[in-house]
Amino acid sequence: MRFTKSIDKFNLARFFKAQTAEKAPLLLTQRRVYILPTGAGVFFGGLLLVMLMGAINYNNSLGFMLTFLLAGLNVISILYTYRNLLHLQVSTRTIAPVFAGERLLVPVLLDNGGHGARFSVQLYFQGESPVACDVPANSWTQVELPLASKRRGLHVLEQFTLCSTFPLGLFRTWSPVRFDTTYLVYAKPAKQSGLPQEALYQPKQTGDKGRGSDDFAGLRGYHQGDSLRHIHWKTLAKDQGLHTKQFGGDRSDELWLDWRSLEHLDKEARIAQLTRWVIDAEQTGICYGLWTPQTQHAPAHGDAHKHNCLRTLALID
């Protein structure tokens, strides 16, 4: 009875799939490191059988000795391969967000607490190409695993697998790891189409918006009649549209990127367009604000502001 129960409990998937998401860092204990022979290992085993047959038939003592030595080597290599993963400590670092469709690089930290160096440890996400590394004794190594990003939003990191066939390639040891780490995927930006026009610019309350020529105040979209001398050729060269450099006093326009201005588009298209605008606005260097039904970001400038805006867009339900 107990036996059948344990068969019911036995779950083959456990060997290939981590059951629960866990907190990093994770110590690879013997309960979660598995090992099986590789194809080459099976071939080698067959060859050992043939050698054994030969030794028995010729009653050749050194033949027996060699066969048994290689069989012993085979067994020892199980332990060596197993030890190549055992007691490694795995953790992840913060995963830099990417735009949907781009490739994530997941930084994974392997910490080796002893047992000598680990060689040729391979890590991979299902369907991705593996990354291999060595971890010297009493040291750590960081690798970046490629992972195709899915749709926008906050995702829990998928399971990845550590594996190794070192030293002889006859056995493969592996350990599936799933962390509760999350990563953010920004919405995929829409095609380049220039920033919104003047209508959306709101004059700043303070300062002087003269059209002088003393200080560079930022860029705005090209208007007919703008002097050619003030055209910002760099953005044109980057294929980002025609912009005019604005010079003046300390007062400049603030750009509001507004959800409501895009009523003709559906939700995802709006998000894509706003994402594109945030990128472009950040690049042109003007202050920009973001208005979405749930959240509003006051006009500002800089990486942190850009990230906040993109994050808001990525998380819109």
Binding residues for other proteins, per CB under 8 A? 23, 25, 27, 29-30, 39-40, 43-44, 47, 50-51, 53-73, 75-77, 79-80, 82-83, 86-87, 89, 91, 111-115, 119-120, 132-134, 138-140, 165-170
In the complex, minimum distance from the CB of residue 77 to other proteins, in angstroms, rounded to a whole number = 7
Which of 90, 217 has the CB closer to other proteins? Answer: 90
Q: Which residue, 25 or 212, is less far from other proteins as judged by CB?
A: 25
Smallest gap from Cβ 142 to other proteins, in A, equals: 10
Q: How far is the CB of 60 from other proteins (least distance, A)?
A: 5
CB of 114 to other proteins, least distance (A): 7
CB nearer to other proteins: give 48 or 300.
48
Q: How far apart are CA 154 and CA 178, in angstroms?
A: 16
Cβ of residue 37: shortest distance to other proteins, in angstroms?
12
Our CB check for other proteins shows the closer of 65 and 298 to be 65
- Distances in Å between the Cα of 184 and the Cα atoms of 23, 103, 132, 155, 181 are 18, 12, 25, 6, 10
Q: How far is the CB of 108 from other proteins (least distance, A)?
A: 13
- Minimal distance, residue 71 CB to other proteins, in Å: 7
Between 168 and 242, CB nearer to other proteins: 168
Closest to other proteins by CB, 161 or 165: 165
Q: State which residue, 132 or 300, has the beta carbon closest to other proteins.
A: 132
